[in-house]
Amino acid sequence: MAQLMYFSKVREQIGIGDETIDLPHTIATVEDLVAHLRGLGDGYNSALADMTFIRVAINQNHVGIDHAVTNADEIAFFPPVTGG
């Protein structure tokens, strides 16, 4: 099962910090996963509406929307980090 983690504004909008899900066989990429999650409710849809403002890491490595996902992955969603 895939471990999903949500940080910062993403976590606030979805309402949870993490969850474990069994990825349906139709999910092959981050883009597929995001489409699936958006269908789970308003919080997910709002948090993941504009992926140009969301970063994704799989197994602690930043990846693009077209990167493959599996049930063995840890997948994190977070806004861009800024510092000063």
Domains of the chain: total: 1
pLDDT bracket for residue 45 (50, 70, 90): very high
SS3 84: coil
CATH number at residue 51: 3.10.20.30
Q: For residue 23, tell me if it sits in a domain.
A: yes
pLDDT > 70 in the chain, percent: 96
Distance CA 12, CA 20 (A): 18
Range of the structural domain that residue 73 is part of? 2-78
Does the structure show a pLDDT above 80 at 34? yes
pLDDT, tens digit, 9 for 90 and up, residues 49-58: 999 999 999 9
Q: For residue 84, tell me if it sits in a domain.
A: no
Read off the pLDDT of each residue in 8-21 and give the average, rounded to a whole number. 96
pTM exceeding the 0.85 threshold for the entire prediction: yes
Q: How far does Cα 82 stand from its chain's mean position? A: 19
CA distances from 60 to 49, 55, 75, 76, 79 (A): 22, 12, 8, 8, 15
Q: For residue 33, tell me if it sits in a domain.
A: yes
Pull the structure tokens for residue 16.
């949870």
